[in-house]
Every structure is written in C-alpha cells, then in structure tokens.
Amino acid sequence: MKILVCISHVPDTTSKINFTDNNTQFDTNGVQFVINPNDEFGLTRAMWFKEKQGAIVDVINVGGAETEPTLRKALAIGADNAIRVNTPATDGFQVAKQLANVAKEGEYDLIIAGRESIDYNGGMVPGMLAALLKANFVNTCIGLEIEGTEAKAVREIDGGKESVTAKLPLVIGGQKGLVEESDLRIPNMRGIMMARKKPLNVVEPVDVTAQTEVEKFEKPAPKGAVKLVESDNLDELIELLHNEAKVI
C-alpha cells in the first residue's frame, strides 16, 4: 500500500502573530513553524500502517524552501520520502491542484490530509483533492482501518459518530481521534540522522489560477477589562449579569 500524507507548514499556536503592508501580508519574523496538528495525527496513523502492514509512506508539501525543515521532521518521524512542490501556497484550490498532480503520478492507495490547517482554517483542500482525483472521500475522520482494498472509517458528525466503508483509492480529512495525542511521535536522534539521507524531491508546479485572494488580515479585538466581584456579594453579581452582561 502506498500512502501520501499532506503536510502543512503552519505557525506554532504560541507564536505572536503580526501583519505587514497595511495588514495584507503575514509577518513571519520570529515565528516558529510546525507540522499542522491535524496532519500530524494523519502522519502518525500512516506510520502505524507502515509498521503493521508494510506500507510506503510519502509526505508532501506545497511551499518554498522554508518549509523543508517541516518535511525533514516528518521524515525523522518515519516517512520514507518527501516531496515539495516548489510554489507558495496561495489558496485551497491552488494547493489541491498541485497535490493532485503529484498524487496522480504516484498512484497512491490512500491520501491523508488534515481536515483543515490551523492558520487559515479553510477546510477545503481534502475535499477538492478527492474530487480532482475522482477518489472516495471521508472527512472529519477519527478512525481508520484498511484490509486489502477496503477501508473502514469512523467520522465525527453532529451529535455522534458515523461508521462507513469505502474502496481504495481513498482521501481522508483526518483530525484528533485518528490517533490520540499520546500516540504522537517525537523524532529521536536516530530518526533525525536518518532523515538527512532520505529523499526530499523538489518538483515544479503546474499552472493554476488561484480562486481566492486575501484582501486584508485583522486581529481579534483585545479582551475587555475584567470586573471582579466579591465572592459573598451575590446581589452585585446578579445585577451585573442582568444589566451589563445581559445574560440573565
């Protein structure tokens, strides 16, 4: 079985976010980048298929050379090969087209993407990728088993879970639950050293016209002042909740 894991290069959630050029460009100065958490859950599940079923695991990213440390981390975790499509990621459609072009040539049985990235939270790429490849698709996937050419998946739905079966080739949009946080892997020294010798192939992009354009970024409004009420002053608390907060 051949597996392709899509890896997004995203800012660490602890990074301080700023914008430049009149709030039209993201300022990368001082920002630490990591593997998108939803993608990391998928990568960890792919490693399970590698160890239990002998799967070949490739990882792919659409981005410039600055994303290669993130791909190297994926290789250190245990992926066999890495692919970088040499173009900035501009929107979901453009990324999906680049991924589909590589996936078609690789003839992958399973493609694992995170259901969304934690930077733009578009949630578009996995579904678009499945449509471009004419492959089956399971989104918000929190469980996956594969036997032969059939996959058994569990996905999160409003108010519960849904179990489905699908034939390979299959694209999934994974998230927490596909594996637990305790299952995530930290690269050890041996993995880091081996990653330096593993292939990281750079491929040129296909021509794609982006369908969306960022006009402006805006930070959330700053948190308002906190008003403290003495623990024994219930009347004041009720008055504030009723007249100021208007929640009762």
CB 129 within 8 A of CB 96: yes
| Pairing outcome for strands 9-11 and 33-35 | antiparallel
d(CA 157, CA 166): 17
**HEC secondary structure over 10-32:** EECCCCCCEEECCCCEEECCCCC
Partners of 138 in the β-ladder: 172
Place of tokens 């700053």: 222
Model pLDDT, residue 227 = 85
Model pLDDT, residue 140 = 96
182: tokens are 């305790």
CA dihedral 46→52→55→60, nearest 10 degrees, is: 20
Model pLDDT, residue 231 = 87
Name all domains of the chain by residue range, CATH numbers in brackets.
2-220 (3.40.50.620)
Of 134, 125, 101, 105, give the one whose Cα is nearest residue 174: 125
d(CA 185, CA 146): 22
Instruction: Answer left, alpha or beta for residue 121, where phi above 0 means left and psi between -120 and 50 means alpha.
Output: left
Model pLDDT, residue 132 = 97
CB 171 within 8 A of CB 129: yes
25: tokens are 């460009």
d(CA 114, CA 232): 48
Model pLDDT, residue 222 = 84
CB under 8 Å to 173, separation ≥6 — which residues?
Answer: 38, 113, 114, 115, 116, 123, 126, 127, 137, 138, 139, 140, 141
d(CA 53, CA 55): 6
Based on the number of CB atoms within 10 Å of its own CB, is 134 exposed (0-12), middle (13-18) or buried (19 or more)? exposed
Model pLDDT, residue 214 = 86
pLDDT (tens place) for every residue of the chain, 248 residues total = 999 999 999 999 888 889 999 999 889 888 999 999 999 999 999 999 999 999 999 999 999 999 999 999 999 999 999 999 999 999 999 999 999 999 999 999 999 999 999 988 889 999 999 999 999 999 999 999 999 999 999 999 999 999 999 999 999 999 999 999 999 999 889 899 989 889 999 999 999 988 888 889 988 888 888 889 898 899 999 998 998 888 88
Place of tokens 């219930």: 234
43: tokens are 């990568």
Q: In what helix (H) or strand (E) does residue 190 lie, and over which residues does it extend?
A: helix 189-195
Model pLDDT, residue 6 = 97
Model pLDDT, residue 156 = 94
